[in-house]
Amino acid sequence: MMDSKLANALRKVYHSTQGYWKGLSAIKKLAKAAKVPEDMAKQWLIKQSLWQIYLPEPPDIPHPKFNVSTPNSVNQVDLLFLPHDWLPGGRKVYKYTMTVVNITSHRKEAEPLTSKTLLKLRRLSSQFTSASL
């Protein structure tokens, strides 16, 4: 846990007009300017959203790979939350969308939902997998 005095010192230096250093070099510059250890400066900087924006991207981001040749054997399913407004006249309000992506054919399907009950999701999931996407 960082002392509040150290956090205030780092805040004053980093959020001043001379602060706002970008990238990994900011750790050494901030530690030197605020007279704190580098590990404390790094720990504090990691929590700053403005500093996170300018970090270099990771060299390798692992992505899932599927080696599937039979159609409809692997599907990716996701439940998305929709912004819902109350509609006049008692019309249905769709609060969710269930999306399905077939891995082999890359075909996508989406179905709007008014609720996310397990029975409804299971029924829709079986419809998507039984139909040829």
Q: What is the domain extent for residue 79? A: 75-130
Q: pTM for this one?
A: 0.47
Residue 65 lies in a domain: no
The pLDDT, as a whole number, for residue 133 is 47
Residue 63 lies in a domain: no
Residue 107 lies in a domain: yes
Q: Are residues 35 and 81 in the same domain?
A: no
Q: H-type helices in the chain, by residue range? A: 4-14, 25-34, 38-46, 49-53, 118-130
**pLDDT values of the chain reduced to their tens digit, one per residue, 133 residues:** 567 887 888 888 877 777 667 778 888 888 888 888 888 888 888 888 877 787 777 788 888 787 888 877 788 888 999 887 666 766 778 888 888 888 888 888 888 888 888 887 788 777 776 765 4
Q: Say how far apart CA 123 and CA 133 lie, in whole Å.
A: 16
Residue 106 lies in a domain: yes
Domains held by the chain: number: 2
Which residues lie below 8 Å from residue 116, measured CB to CB, with a gap of 6+? Answer: 79, 95, 96
Residue 59 lies in a domain: no
